[in-house]
Amino acid sequence: MLLICVAATATLAAIAPFAGRYLGRNAGWPLAAGLLAIGVLLWTNADVSGTSGTTESLPWMPTLGIELAFKLDGLGLLFSLLVLIIGAAVLAYSARYLGPGPQGSFYGLMTLFAAAMLGLVLADDIIVLFVMWETTTLCSFFLIARSGPKAREPAIRTLLVTAGGGLSLLGAVVVMAVSVGTTNLSAILADPIWGSDMTFTVTVALLIILAAFTKSAQFPFHAWLPDAMAAATPVSAYLHAAAMVKAGIYLLMRFSGVLGDVAIWNILLISCGLLTAILGAVLAMRRWDLKELMAYSTVSQLGFLVAAIGIGTETALIAAAIHTLAHALFKSTLFMFVGIIDHQAGTRDIRQLSGLRHTMPISAITVSLAALSMAGVPPLLGFISKENLFAAFLEAPGAPWLGPIVGGLAMSAAILTFAYSGRIVFGAFGGPRSSSSASEASPAYLFPAVLPALAGLLLGLWPALAEPLTSAAASASTHLNLEAGLTLWHGVNAPLIMSVIVIATGVAMVAKRNSVDPLLNRGSLPFTALGVVDAARAGIITWGARVGDLTRSDSPARHLAIPTVSLVLIAIVGVITIGPLPEQVPGLSRPMDWGLVMIVLIGVIGAMTVRTRIGAVVVVGVVGFGVTLWYFVLGAADVALTQMLVEILTVVVMVLLLRRLPRKFHRPTKRRAVAAGIIALGAGVATTLGVLAMTGRRELSSAGEYFLREGEDVTGGTNVVNTILVDFRAFDTLGELTVLGIAGIAIAVLLHSRPMLPFVDEPIKVRADSPLIDPHDNAIFGRSLDRLLWPVMIIVSLWFLLRGHNSPGGGFISALIGGAGFAMAYITASSDRSAKVKAPYMALIGSGIIIATASGLLGYFDGSFLLPLHGYIFGIHLTTALVFDVGVYLAVIGVVLAALNLLGRSAPALVDPAPPDKATPTEARNDEKELTT
């Protein structure tokens, strides 16, 4: 049932854009009915007796032990019903709030928001919880950003703060998964590590607090929530009442059972929560815009909830559960009526509103009900929740005198709450009747907004209706079987006396509001919270730019200097900190190895001393082919083939580039040469030390043993290198392939959008009778050979593609062979037009990535993405790895063809040979029409 509900909500989110496109704003009605139906299904099938709940799961990443696991207990049910029922009310309200025309993006994002929130509060796997958490962040960003040009900056600020909290939650997820050894949330919360390892407990507590504070707008992260009021009113109503901000409250309540006795948890939640409650209330009293006033009131009410969770007692968790419900009801009504007032009266500024009670009586009565509930006036649900909060605050842990202090601070915030509730009612509906043409909204417009307020009145008069839900939520949070004992009258006790004082003082403040307003609006800080957020964003960008500037250069030497120096520093730290190493296995090197080292060394010395670019290509090729030979000697045929083919294609690409570069290198200054030498020497020493430290000092790893032992049975292939690349770590290879494809496309876009360097016109001294004088005739042998070898190389490449799973080969090697064939065809061609490389390289790159990805989808037939499958069809052994390799083949061929087509653009012929009868050296120029020189 849980999986059905989550899947149904996700399906609704997928359908919503099309419904909004074709039905316009009226799509809100069927979408609201869908959410309501899912809520009814969840409620009628819920079994939340006790604290365990019901769980359902599907495998997601089984090799990592990660499942699409969902759990329905009392806490999950409370928040799920808020998400679905308040969401349904807001969508129905949107059907009249929005203007005519397609509304696909709005409804798509809103229903996706609901699906993400539902998945979050039901998640029983911390990876799923994190993914849903981040999805709500993205949904809120897009919903705010789509509200117009003025919403761009608020959307960015919201994303900055909430995404930062997401990083904190990610840190908590990693710590819990690594320390406990599972990602199952129920197992993590039941693990004894919370009591035995205080370092782990405090670390997770701090990370969870930071994540929740950013999401639920707690000081000092409170500024983003009022700033987000740039969004449309339905977005604000949902975000404040049941979605975004309630995610943080849910997270705190979910972990309160294991963190409620941790001192840092109590201190931070109580202190920051009460500070936020008071600060939000004061700022609400200073606002004239009804929507902004509502936003700060949400900040204040969330502060009450956070402080109650910080108390951590059974009474406090019951109070948090009932106030979460009460807040969702009165806040959704208030926000929706702000939109109605704005539509009907044309403004939200209470200085311009007067006497709307005469023309909008239903609105006046409903807003008054919701505001009185927020103020904590009987017989509304808000009164019951506020009394429970007072009772909880008096139980504050610690010294006996702490409870009265916390209770007194809560009373101060509650008095201000009463005052700004009165400000809402009298600001919008009080005063004499004005000449405004405002009239009552239509019944269809009013109906969704009235229902939550009526529910608050009904539950206040008959609190037993809310008893099972709130008791189950508190029980799931504390892992104890609790009874909320909700009632409108508890007799004369401390919470009642506190409520009387709050109401009396609040009435006085409302009555004297004309005198109170100037007092609260006196003075202000020299900075604003939004200014701090903007300054932080600017600072991060500036700092990032400075860090990036260290390597941001067109010069490869400057670009690589910092990473190379960092490598040296890491090596120095390693030498200082790493203790004695195990003994090396004897017999690691042979005389032949040292001979190959000398070949490589000759190439390195040549690269350091050569002055011409073509010479550098040659001697660097010596290094590359020396390493290739070494791989062959060591028996690593796959790696050796790859290295050899890469070296060949590198020479081809470099030849195409050298035509546009000066023949000789610029002579570096002595200072630069010395610096480069020091860095190179340090990097060489660091690399040598690393190789010596990590080679031959341990047995074969358990992963290596597994690949060798199980590779053939699991993948159907005997080439362990290929099975690792395209089966066991195929996801990594797919990522690398995607990066390669993106790089090829980026190079194509860059070379098409910007002019390339001109061809270098440098004379080359040759004899008049040299074959270089007529490169066209000189290339006849190559062209003749190409007619024979090109099809052979393509066939050989396909053979290597097919055999790669069991013998040296595979998609990458075969593509390099095919690419070498195309390179030979291009170089020996008499002209660009006759070259066999005019294939659609962009399409090849894209189709290769698509095919590789599609091969991963085949794995779902047996469990998961990219799971290796193999078997016999008509007597032929087939594997999904072959399909994956075909994608690799096409993408790599596409990148090679892109390089040949884009870098090999020809120039007019520049050869002007001297008379052939002269024996003295003559100056001839590169024949840029041909590519043979």
Q: How many helices (H) and strands (E) does the chain have?
A: 38, 6
Q: With a cut of 60, say whether residue 496 has pLDDT above it.
A: yes
Query: Cα separation of 849 and 889, whole Å?
Result: 10
What are the tens digits of pLDDT across the range 247-288? 999 999 999 999 988 999 999 999 999 999 999 999 999 888
Least reliable range by pLDDT among 90-99, 423-432, 510-519, 590-599: 510-519
Does position 929 have pLDDT exceeding 60, yes or no? no
DSSP 581: P
Q: What is the pLDDT of residue 515?
A: 77
Give residue 672's pLDDT: 83
Query: What is the H or E stretch that residue 721 is in?
Result: helix 720-723
The C-alpha atoms of residue 468 and residue 708 are separated, in whole angstroms, by 57
pLDDT, tens digit, 9 for 90 and up, residues 327-345: 999 999 999 999 999 988 8
414 falls in which pLDDT band (50, 70, 90)? very high
- In our burial notation (b when 16+ CB lie closer than 10 A, e otherwise), range 374-411 reads bbbbbbbbbbbbbbbbbbbbbbbbeeeeebeebbebbb
**Mean pLDDT value of segment 429-448:** 84
Q: How far apart are the C-alpha atoms of 273 and 307, rounded to whole Å?
A: 4
Q: Return the closest-CA partner of residue 294 out of 271, 327, 252, 325.
A: 327
Confidence of residue 927 (pLDDT cuts 50, 70, 90): very low
Q: Is the pLDDT of residue 756 over 80?
A: no
Query: What percent of the chain is modeled with pLDDT above 70?
Result: 93
- pLDDT surpassing 60 at residue 920: no
332 vs 455: CA distance, rounded Å: 11
Whether residue 898 is predicted with pLDDT greater than 50 in this model: the reply is yes
* pLDDT higher at 89 or 519: 89
Kindly report the number of other CB atoms within 10 A of residue 25's CB atom. Answer: 19
pLDDT bucket at 928, cuts 50 / 70 / 90: very low
pLDDT at 922 over 80: no
Confidence of residue 747 (pLDDT cuts 50, 70, 90): confident
pLDDT for the residue 653? 85
- Calculate mean pLDDT across residues 466-489: 87
Rg (CA), the chain: 36
Q: In this model, does residue 914 exceed pLDDT 60?
A: no
Residue-level pLDDT at 932: 35
pLDDT of residue 487: 86
The string of pLDDT tens digits covering residues 216-233 is 989 888 888 888 888 889
What is the tens place of the pLDDT at every residue in 143-182? Answer: 999 888 888 888 888 898 999 999 999 999 999 999 998 9
- Name the CA dihedral angle for 33, 35, 37, 40, rounded to a multiple of 10 degrees: -130
First to last CA, the chain: 72
Summarize the confidence of residues 697-707 as an average pLDDT. 80
Closest CA to 497 of 418, 394, 416, 382: 394
CB 670 within 8 A of CB 678: no
Q: Is the pLDDT of residue 720 over 80?
A: yes
pLDDT mean across residues, the chain: 86
Across 46-55, 398-407, 556-565, 666-675, which has the greatest mean pLDDT? Answer: 398-407
Cα distances (Å, whole numbers) of residue 160 to 134, 224, 631 = 12, 9, 48
Q: Cα(460)–Cα(452) distance, rounded to whole angstroms?
A: 12
pLDDT at residue 490, rounded to an integer: 81
Residue 698 has pLDDT above 80, yes or no: no
Whether the predicted pLDDT of 126 surpasses 90:
yes
Give the single-character DSSP code of 289: B
Evaluate whether 425 touches 337 at the Cβ level (below 8 Å).
no
**Exposure of 363 in the CB half-sphere (CA atoms within 13 A):** 32
Residue with tokens 């653009």: 905
Q: How confident is the model at residue 525 (pLDDT cuts 50, 70, 90)?
A: low
Burial status of residue 805 (CB atoms within 10 A of its CB: 0-12, 13-18, 19 or more): buried
Asked whether 295 and 225 are in contact (CB, 8 A), the reply is yes
Q: Span 102-128, mean pLDDT? A: 94
pTM, 2 dp = 0.76
Distances (CA, A) of 776 to 655, 736, 900: 17, 40, 19
pLDDT at 320 over 80: yes
pLDDT at 707: 86
Residue type present at position 888: V
Please give the average per-residue pLDDT across 505-509, as a whole number. 92
The percent of residues in the chain predicted with pLDDT above 90, rounded, is: 40
> What count of other Cβ atoms lies within 10 Å of the Cβ of residue 64?
11
pLDDT of residue 744: 85
CA 187 to chain centre: 26
pLDDT of residue 71: 93
